[in-house]
């Protein structure tokens, strides 16, 4: 082997590509746990096929992980990949289509079974070379192949884990410790030993034969905070527990189901009920029934389920029953791409249902927001007696990262909400009391205050009233609830502190990490570029128009479809609300997250075209 090049980097990104069902995510999970324990910051994004077991060696079978590792806190999965390890040429070929590799990306390709015709390998290796990337073909050493055969072809992920562990300089004992924690009690002793042996063979193979390595400093311990490694949906689930929500009602739908899975294990221990309903409509109905009975409740879903819930959402608004809805957005319409990310439920959430809509819509920035959002949602739902949406997405739901352990509040009552949570989301405490359509809002079981609720229009006493004044008043009262949140919204953070300039980049929800990083790239190059990312998308902060007026050009970046004839949702809303000529510079539906570099490129195009 030529002399090994060791790259000392502050941040790196690599990926492992395999066929579905062969444990790429498991290997990635083990490796990032080892990194995290060593003191590195990690961010992992799984690539999950839409089917359980698509045929091996086909393009739909691609299943893998993208891992970003750094000595500083990571807000997103980053731009491009430095190292790809692919278990065969078909998944590699498929992944190269996404064009997320660095120009100097190094590709390790398992040449696999010699019995296969080499033409496929040759074609893909040529593609790699033609793209200017370096290719490193390798073969699993014969001793390891024997073990893999004895395990019916499984466990090659442990070999790759060994290779990647070595390339990223993870001491073997750290990784083996994580393998033990993952498999120790689940595998027979001899099978477990074979897995460890495969890991060692892979590690040795990379040490002896791969001519490069990466070194990232271990720095996460430096701020002195306790760390956790958690994914977005688990953070939401634990946030639901901390918010004192006692009933979660859902129906299986990717990518929201894992919230139910997480809660199914822990919820009863904290007095919570996890209910799997017969359909999406029933799921929200049951949550509404529980909240009506005085028990905080929530339902979680994704786009198609959101459509089915819309009638009940309008009902909850009219009947003044608090309800929290988590929408983990995926690529639509219809079944779309259920394992790909998108932000395209914005319009159906804000304007869906029927008639006039009064509701609160909150987009989460990241995994930390996922943990705190249920508390804020509960506070708002109970104070306003309106539907409150927590908008997440596939990317946020399924990414893991190392974060400082969030504060736990053990919320008992919505009045308990801590200033920390309100500050975190940029909201002032709401004024009290907030006027309701009906004066009496007693919970069943309260003597002498019996009342009937309905989706019919009523007067203050709750009596059905179809007359003009009562209807006008009901609408005004419901909307005033939203307006009082609008008045309580603080000015959104302007990244890099830039309050005026040529271009303002605006995103919402999970675009935050990419927008913030893109703004820093641009500002470091001396460009007068500002940026913000909205958490509250309904209502919008009042001062947006004024902020927008201080930039020559306001642009959005969002994962929803747009073209020159069609503004994507965020741009459409911002235009309507501010009358600023907001245009989207990223409005794509590729199923891949927004990258900071792609934003930077688009912003620079604006400058080159003289638009900014």
Partner 1 sequence: MPELHEKAPAGAPLTVKDLNTENPRWCVGCGDFGVLMGFKRFLVEEQIPPHETVNVSGIGCSGRVPFYVNTYGVHAIHGRPITIAMGVALARPDLKLFIHAGDGDALSIGGNHLVHGIHKNFNCVFILYDNQLYALTKSQSSPTTRKGHPTNTQPQGTALDPIAPIRFALGIGASFVAATADWLPDHMVNTLKVAYAHKGFSFVHVLQRCPHFDPENFDNKTSAWFSFLTHEKGIPADKRLADKTEIVTHDPTDHEEAFRLANSQRAYFGLFYRNPDKPCYDAMIRQRIVNAKPMSRAGILDSYKI
Q: Which two tokens stand for residue 517?
A: 């990083």
- Sign of the Cα torsion 54, 56, 61, 65 reads positive
DSSP 186-212: TS-HHHHHHHHHHHHHHHHHHHHH--E
Instruction: Check: CB of residue 111 under 8 Å from CB of residue 156.
Output: no
Which residues within the stretch 309-348 sit at the binding site for partner 1 (CB under 8 A)? Answer: 311-312, 315, 319
Cβ-based nearer residue to partner 1, 186 or 188: 186
Rounded to 5°, the CA angle 562-565-567 comes to 40
| Phi and psi at residue 508, to the nearest 5° | -140, 155
List the one residue from 9, 191, 295, 470 that touches partner 1 (CB under 8 A): 295
Residue 320 Cβ vs partner 1, minimum distance, rounded to whole Å: 12
Cβ-based nearer residue to partner 1, 102 or 457: 457
Residue 532 Cβ vs partner 1, minimum distance, rounded to whole Å: 30
Site for partner 1 contains 184 (CB under 8 A) = no
Which residues within the stretch 230-249 sit at the binding site for partner 1 (CB under 8 A)? Answer: 230, 234, 238, 241-242, 246-247, 249
| Contact region with partner 1 (CB under 8 A), list: 82-90, 121-129, 267-275, 589-597 | 267-275
List the one residue from 55, 355, 431, 444 that touches partner 1 (CB under 8 A): 444
Instruction: Check: CB of residue 378 under 8 Å from CB of residue 411.
Output: yes
Residue listed under structure tokens 């990262």: 401
Instruction: Check: CB of residue 482 under 8 Å from CB of residue 360.
Output: yes
Site for partner 1 contains 269 (CB under 8 A) = yes
| Contact region with partner 1 (CB under 8 A), list: 83-91, 332-340, 447-455, 552-560 | 447-455
Report the C-alpha gap between 389 and 359 in whole angstroms: 8
Cβ-based nearer residue to partner 1, 88 or 401: 401
DSSP 458-493: B-TTS-B--SHHHHHHHHHHHHHHHHHHHHHBPPPP
Site for partner 1 contains 406 (CB under 8 A) = yes
List the one residue from 20, 24, 31, 36 that touches partner 1 (CB under 8 A): 36
List the one residue from 4, 57, 180, 451 that touches partner 1 (CB under 8 A): 451
Residue listed under structure tokens 């909205």: 534
Binding mask 194-233 for partner 1 (x = CB under 8 A): --------------------------------xxxxx---
Measured CA distances, 487 to 431, 494, 537 (Å): 10, 19, 14
Residue 437 CB neighbours (<10 A): 23
Nearest to 18 by CA among 84, 88, 83, 108: 88
Binding mask 37-66 for partner 1 (x = CB under 8 A): x-----------------------------
Site for partner 1 contains 449 (CB under 8 A) = yes
Q: Residue 289, SS3?
A: helix
Nearest to 582 by CA among 543, 611, 559, 605: 611
Residue 276 Cβ vs partner 1, minimum distance, rounded to whole Å: 10
Residues of the shown chain interacting with partner 1 in the complex, contacts defined by CB under 8 A: 33, 36-37, 226-230, 234, 238, 241-242, 246-247, 249, 266, 268-273, 275, 277-279, 281-295, 297, 311-312, 315, 319, 402, 405-406, 408, 410, 439-440, 444-456, 460-461, 463-464
């Amino acid at each position: 082997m030529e002399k090994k090049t060791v790259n000392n980097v502050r941040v790196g990104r690599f990926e492992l590509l395999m066929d579905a069902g062969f444990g790429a995510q498991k290997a990635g999970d083990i490796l990032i746990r080892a990194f995290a324990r060593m003191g590195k910051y990690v961010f992992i994004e799984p690539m999950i096929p839409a089917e359980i077991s698509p045929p091996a060696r086909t393009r739909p079978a691609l299943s893998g992980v993208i891992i970003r590792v750094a000595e500083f806190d990571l807000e997103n999965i980053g731009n491009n990949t430095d190292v790809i390890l692919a278990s065969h040429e078909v998944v590699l070929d498929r992944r190269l289509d996404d064009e997320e590799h660095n120009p100097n990306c190094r590709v390790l390709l398992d040449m696999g079974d010699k019995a296969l015709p080499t033409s496929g390998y040759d074609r893909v290796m040529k593609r790699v070379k033609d793209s200017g990337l370096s290719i490193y073909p390798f073969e699993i050493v014969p001793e390891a192949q024997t073990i893999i055969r004895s395990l019916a072809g499984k466990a090659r992920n442990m070999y790759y884990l060994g290779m990647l562990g070595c390339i990223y300089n993870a001491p073997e004992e750290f990784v083996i410790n994580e393998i033990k924690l993952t498999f120790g009690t689940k595998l027979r002793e001899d099978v477990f030993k074979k897995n460890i042996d495969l890991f060692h063979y892979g590690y040795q193979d990379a040490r002896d034969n791969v001519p490069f390595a990466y070194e990232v400093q271990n720095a996460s311990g430096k701020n002195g905070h306790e760390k956790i490694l958690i994914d977005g949906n688990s953070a939401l689930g634990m946030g639901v527990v901390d918010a004192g929500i006692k009933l979660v009602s859902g129906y299986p739908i990717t990518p929201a189901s894992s919230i139910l899975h997480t809660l199914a294990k822990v919820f009863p221990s904290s007095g919570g009920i996890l209910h799997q309903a017969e359909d999406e409509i029933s799921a929200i109905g049951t949550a509404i029934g529980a909240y009506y009975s005085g028990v905080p409740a929530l339902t979680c879903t994704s786009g198609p389920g959101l459509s089915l819930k819309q009638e009940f959402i309008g009902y909850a608004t009219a009947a003044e029953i608090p309800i929290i809805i988590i929408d983990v957005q995926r690529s639509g319409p219809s079944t779309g791409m259920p394992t790909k990310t998108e932000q395209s439920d914005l319009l159906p959430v804000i304007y869906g249902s029927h008639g006039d809509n009064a509701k609160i819509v909150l987009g989460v920035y990241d995994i930390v927001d996922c943990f705190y959002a249920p508390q804020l949602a509960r506070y708002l739902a109970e104070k306003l007696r309106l539907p409150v949406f927590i908008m997440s997405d596939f990317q946020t739901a399924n990414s893991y990262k190392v974060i400082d352990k969030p504060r736990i509040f053990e919320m008992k009552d919505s009045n308990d909400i801590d200033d920390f949570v309100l500050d975190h989301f940029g909201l002032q405490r709401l004024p009290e009391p907030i006027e309701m359509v009906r004066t009496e809002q007693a919970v069943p079981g309260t003597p002498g205050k019996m009342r009937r609720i309905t989706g019919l229009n009523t007067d203050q006493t709750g009596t059905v009233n179809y007359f003009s004044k009562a209807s006008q008043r009901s609408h005004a009262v419901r909307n005033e609830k939203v307006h009082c949140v609008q008045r309580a919204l603080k000015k959104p953070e302007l990244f890099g502190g830039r309050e005026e300039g040529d271009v303002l980049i605006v995103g919402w929800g999970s675009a935050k990490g990419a927008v913030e990083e893109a703004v820093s790239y641009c500002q470091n190059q001396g460009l007068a570029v500002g940026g913000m990312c909205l958490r509250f998308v309904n209502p919008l902060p009042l001062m947006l128009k004024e902020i927008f007026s201080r930039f020559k050009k306001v642009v959005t970046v969002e994962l929803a479809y747009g073209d020159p004839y069609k503004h994507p949702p965020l741009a459409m809303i911002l235009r309507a609300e501010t009358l600023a000529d907001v245009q989207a510079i990223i409005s794509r539906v590729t199923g891949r997250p927004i990258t900071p570099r792609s934003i930077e490129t688009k912003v620079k195009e604006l400058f080159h075209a003289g638009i900014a």
